[in-house]
Amino acid sequence: MTTLSLTVNGEPVRAEIDPRLSLADFLRENLALKGTHLGCEHGACGACTVVVDDMPMRSCITLAASCEGVRVTTVEGFDDDPVVTRLRQAFRDEHALQCGYCTPGMLATARDIVLRHDRPDTEQIRAELAGCICRCTGYRGIVRAIARVIETKSQATAAKAGTT
């Protein structure tokens, strides 16, 4: 066993864990944060993507033990995140989910796309999303939702630039 201390959704957490435990299993089984979904469990599908120190990472192929001292944000911890708040509305408006299984990973990934890109075209959004698999909605709604949030971000930036 090894001792782990980290911050999950703003709360300090300490635990004794088996070193082979994945971050995803730690979140789901030890902390009962079932919003992090497991699909392929080898890093290909993106369903388990969470935000670690402000970067999206695969929780299924990240050892919990490697997360000493980090800040993890799961889908349960996005309520005060302004970008995810806008993404959630856009996902609703654009029908960017049906069953919702991929959505926690999609939101963590979409948040990162919005934060790192100012004027991506559809091709770039699709390339950035390539690591997140959705098997029911199709990607058009998801791509539109992300593009819409980036558009409002660009407008806000332009408006801000205009006033200074």
Partner 1 sequence: MKAPAFAYLRPVSIAEAVAALAEGAGGARILAGGQSLVPMLNLRVAFAETLVDIGAIADLRAVSDEGETVLIGAGVTHATLEDGASGDHWCGMLAFVARDIAYRAVRNRGTLGGSLCHADPAADWPVAMMALGATVQLAGPDGERALASEDFSVDVFTTALEEDEMLTGIRLPKLSPSARWSYRKMRKKAGAFGEAIAAVVHDPARGFTRVVAGSSAVGGPCRLEALEGAVASGSLAAEATIRAALAEREPDLDRYEMQIHATCLRRAMKEVSS
Residues that bind partner 1 (CB under 8 A): 2, 18-20, 22, 41-43, 46, 49, 52, 55-58, 61-63, 65-66, 68, 108-109, 112, 126-128, 130-132
CB of 64 to partner 1, least distance (A): 10
- Distance (Å) of CA 61 to CA 2, 34, 87: 18, 17, 26
Contact status, residue 56 vs residue 50, Cβ threshold 8 Å: yes
* CA separation for the pair 100, 116 (Å, rounded): 24
* CA separation for the pair 153, 84 (Å, rounded): 12
Contact status, residue 6 vs residue 13, Cβ threshold 8 Å: yes
CB of 77 to partner 1, least distance (A): 17
The encoded tokens of residue 143 equal: 């791509």
Q: Which residue, 40 or 95, is less far from partner 1 as judged by CB?
A: 40
CB of 49 to partner 1, least distance (A): 5
Q: Which residue, 18 or 79, is less far from partner 1 as judged by CB?
A: 18
CB of 164 to partner 1, least distance (A): 26
- Paired with 49 in beta bridges are 58
Q: Which residue, 55 or 156, is less far from partner 1 as judged by CB?
A: 55
Q: Which residue, 52 or 96, is less far from partner 1 as judged by CB?
A: 52
Q: Which residue, 8 or 108, is less far from partner 1 as judged by CB?
A: 108
* CA separation for the pair 68, 65 (Å, rounded): 6
CB of 163 to partner 1, least distance (A): 29
* CA separation for the pair 128, 111 (Å, rounded): 11
